[in-house]
Structure 1
Amino acid sequence: MKIVLVTPEIPFNTGAIGRTCVALNLELILIKPYGFSLDEKSVRRAGTDYWQYVNLTEYDSWQCFLDGEKPDPDNLFFFEEHGSQTVYDPDYPLDSFLVFGCESKGLPPEILDGMDNRIFSLPMLDTRVRSLNLANVATAVVYQAMRSHLGG
């Protein structure tokens, strides 16, 4: 299973997600451009001493990612607050790509075009909350996705 961050903007979130990837032996895929440098102390601080162990792959664009990884469309899972299904609905194969957009805009429409049945949301019960922190969402999603593979 792989976590994919498309144009992440906040180094702390990327570092925290990297730490989760290390904990679960997952690959972290980052798609440029970033809103920060991976050399920034804040990325390393959020990942604490674990950033050096992150299994990291970088791509210059979404198209480069598609060309390099050649993912089966059925193994792409996109997470947006407007998903018609929740993160609890699908069965996630071990070769899934869990795809998250940048903090301020989410995933670009051109990536989501034609993928309506692949867009999932993490439920929020109070409408006063506009969005959740990316690192928190990614962690909640990946643990749900791996649930059946972790024996839980």
Structure 2
Amino acid sequence: MTSIVLVHPEIPGNTGAVGRTCVALDLELILIHPLGFDLSDKRVKRSGLDYWQHIRLAEFASWEAFLEARVPRGDQMFLFEEYAKSSFYEPDYPPDAYLVFGRETKGLPAAIVEAHEAQLVALPMRSDKVRSLNLANTVAAAAYQALRGHLS
């Protein structure tokens, strides 16, 4: 099963919208603490609408706790950063991929990026007028690309 991993998300509405995408595509949502909000925040549930109860949710106290518990293979992990040299169109995503996204304002922590440089991918943007995309939109685009060929 493909999983969406949000590392230190800050905006409850984005996490709720990502959760809705996860339900729609039958993906697991993994949240890496600390979060910039409380999961009981009504804004999370409002964005996730009445789908929030159907989310397959896993939480980890830290990135290290996630790595220790899940032990992801290198070919399973795809870390999304706007400055990555590889396009997210390039990889062949396995059905058990982990699609990893950082917080809205700062992206992934430098230590995580440095440890996984070979697994960095970016969504290409044709205009230089946009610095980055909304997290929920990026997750949706990445999830559909990763599942291409696995969806029926």
The answer to whether TM tops 0.5 is yes
The equivalent of 1:134 in structure 2 is 135
Whole-angstrom distance in 2 between the partners of 1:143 and 1:100: 15
- How many angstroms apart in 2 are the aligned matches of 1:25 and 1:115? 26
Aligned to 1:2: 3
Is 2:26 aligned against 1:25? yes
Aligned length: 151
Q: Residue 113 of structure 1: CA displacement?
A: 1.2
Q: Confirm whether residue 87 of structure 1 aligns to residue 80 of structure 2.
A: no
What pairs up with 1:56-135 in 2 under 5 angstroms?
Answer: 56-135=57-136
Alpha-carbon distance, 1:115 to partner? 2.1
What's 1:150 paired with?
151
| Structure 1 residue 116 displacement after superposition | 2.0
Percent identical:
55
Quote the residue 1:13 is aligned against: 14
SS across alignment from 2:149: helix
Equivalent residue letter for 2:108 = L
| CA shift digits 1:35-67 (9 cap, x unpaired) | 101001100000000001100000000000001
- What is the identity, as a one-letter code, of the residue corresponding to 2:77? L
- In structure 2, C-alpha distance between the alignment counterparts of 1:38 and 1:115, rounded to whole Å: 28
In the aligned structure 2, how far is the partner of 1:74 from the partner of 1:48?
33
Distance 1:87 1:142 in 2: 10
Q: What is the CA–CA distance in structure 1 between the aligned matches of 2:21 and 2:133, rounded to whole Å? A: 17
Equivalent-residue separation in structure 1 for 2:115 and 2:34 (angstroms): 23
Give the TM-score taking structure 2 as reference length. 0.97
One-letter amino acid of the structure 2 residue matched with residue 131 of structure 1: S
Q: Which runs of 5+ in 2 are unaligned?
A: none
In 2, Cα distance between equivalents of 1:144 and 1:50: 22
- The Cα shift of 1:147 comes to 0.6
